[in-house]
């Protein structure tokens, strides 16, 4: 699932390629995923508009268009954004296909049907958008402000890091990575963390995100629809050796989310469910 580092690198890739390019054709293949808040027919609303930039807010990729509209993509669990030469044929879970005046195409694909693409004149109309906290990698989010934001949330630290109203952009994978780096048990209650431990979480959050952006920027290339996660330390690697101590990485599955961590480096008692 694309998180802040993935979407940031996709944004950097798309910005020079999409800016000033006009949408020549638009096909909405899965209307449940593509939410047109402008009214009218979605394809007609899109065709002829020009991309102005590529931006990001939390886990939303924002593609501002001319005539005061923005295409906002929130890929959620499994959505993928593809850019490049047109595919010879559509795939079953392609939700939106934009053919561009320069011969390229931009395509949103979602095997889980969980993401959303919004076309809107006002980002505040997008559910949860305005409730997002500061970007987790915002240079202006200093340690003291981070502590202050966490103070209102006494619960499990992993749940707080992935709460988009606290900080925006972190999901299941990068929360695991951050807590591994901070050497904090993911199910520790924030209220049990010391002043120093909150500082460790903050430092690990900044380092993990910056490092991931640098790695992805180097490795992603043109295949922006392929998620690169092999460089992560613990997430997606249960049973493999912890890169720090060599212990087997543990997995705890709750609802649909799996948490991966090292019981040696991140000790803690399993919290009651
Ligand atoms: Zn370890």
Distance 180 CA to ligand 1 centre (A): 8
Choose the catalytic residue: 3, 135, 156, 177: 3
pLDDT score for 270: 64
pLDDT score for 267: 95
Distance 190 CA to ligand 1 centre (A): 21
Choose the catalytic residue: 2, 5, 64, 186: 2
pLDDT score for 256: 80
Distance 194 CA to ligand 1 centre (A): 21
Torsions phi, psi for 257 (to 5 deg):
-110, 135
Phi/psi region, residue 221 (left: phi>0; alpha: psi -120 to 50; beta: rest), is left
Distance 78 CA to ligand 1 centre (A): 29
For this structure, is 2 an active site residue? Answer: yes
Environment class of 35 (CB within 10 Å of its CB; exposed 0-12, middle 13-18, buried 19+): middle
Range 100-110 average pLDDT: 97
Q: What is the pTM of this model?
A: 0.95
Distance 179 CA to ligand 1 centre (A): 11
- For 213-269, what is each residue's pLDDT tens digit? 999 999 999 999 999 999 999 999 999 999 999 999 999 998 788 999 999 999 997
Domain boundaries, the chain: 4-131, 143-261
For this structure, is 105 an active site residue? Answer: no
Distance 212 CA to ligand 1 centre (A): 20
Q: What is the mean pLDDT of the chain?
A: 96
> Helix and strand tally (H, E) in the chain?
6, 11
pLDDT score for 269: 78
Residues around ion ligand 1, judged by CB within 5 A, are: 242, 244-245, 247, 262, 264-265
Q: Using CA atoms, how far apart are residues 243 and 265, in angstroms rounded to an integer? A: 10
Distance 198 CA to ligand 1 centre (A): 20
- For 11-54, what is each residue's pLDDT tens digit? 999 999 999 999 999 999 999 999 999 999 999 999 999 999 99
For this structure, is 158 an active site residue? Answer: no
Q: Report residue 165 as tokens.
A: 């109203």
Phi/psi region, residue 149 (left: phi>0; alpha: psi -120 to 50; beta: rest), is alpha
Choose the catalytic residue: 29, 30, 99, 257: 257
Choose the catalytic residue: 11, 45, 49, 59: 59
What CATH number belongs to 143-261? 1.10.8.50
What CATH number belongs to 4-131? 3.20.190.10
pLDDT value at 273 more than 50: no
- For 190-209, what is each residue's pLDDT tens digit? 999 999 999 999 999 999 99
The residue to which tokens 């296909």 are assigned: 97
Distance 234 CA to ligand 1 centre (A): 9
For this structure, is 243 an active site residue? Answer: no
- HEC profile of 188-250: CEHHHCCHHHHHHHHHHHHHHHHHHHHHHHHHCCCCCCCCCCCCCCCCCCCCCECCCCCCECE
Q: What share of the chain is helix, strand, coil (3-state, %, to 5)?
A: 30, 25, 45
């Amino acid at each position: 699932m694309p998180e802040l580092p993935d979407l940031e690198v996709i944004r950097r890739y798309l910005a020079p390629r999409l800016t000033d390019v006009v949408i020549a054709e638009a096909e909405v293949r899965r209307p449940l995923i593509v939410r047109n808040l402008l009214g009218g027919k979605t394809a007609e609303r899109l065709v002829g508009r020009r991309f102005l930039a590529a931006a990001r807010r939390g886990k939303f990729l924002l593609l501002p268009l001319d005539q005061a509209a923005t295409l906002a993509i929130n890929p959620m669990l499994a959505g993928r954004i593809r850019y490049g030469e047109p595919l010879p044929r559509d795939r079953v879970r392609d939700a939106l296909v934009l053919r561009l005046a320069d011969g390229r195409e931009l395509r949103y694909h979602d095997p889980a049907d969980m993401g959303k693409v919004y076309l809107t004149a006002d980002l505040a109309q997008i559910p949860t958008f305005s409730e997002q906290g500061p970007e987790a990698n915002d240079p202006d989010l200093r340690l003291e402000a981070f502590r202050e934001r966490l103070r209102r949330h006494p619960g499990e630290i992993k749940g707080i890091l992935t709460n988009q109203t606290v900080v925006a952009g972190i999901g299941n994978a990068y929360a695991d990575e951050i807590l591994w780096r901070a050497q904090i048990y993911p199910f520790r209650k924030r209220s049990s963390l010391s002043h120093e431990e909150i500082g460790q979480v903050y430092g690990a959050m900044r380092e993990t995100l910056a490092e991931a952006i640098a790695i992805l920027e180097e490795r992603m290339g043109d295949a922006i629809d392929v998620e690169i996660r092999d460089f992560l330390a613990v997430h997606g690697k249960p049973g493999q050796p912890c890169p720090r101590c060599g212990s087997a990485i543990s997995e705890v599955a709750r609802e649909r989310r799996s948490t991966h961590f090292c019981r040696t480096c991140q000790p803690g008692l399993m919290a009651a469910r």
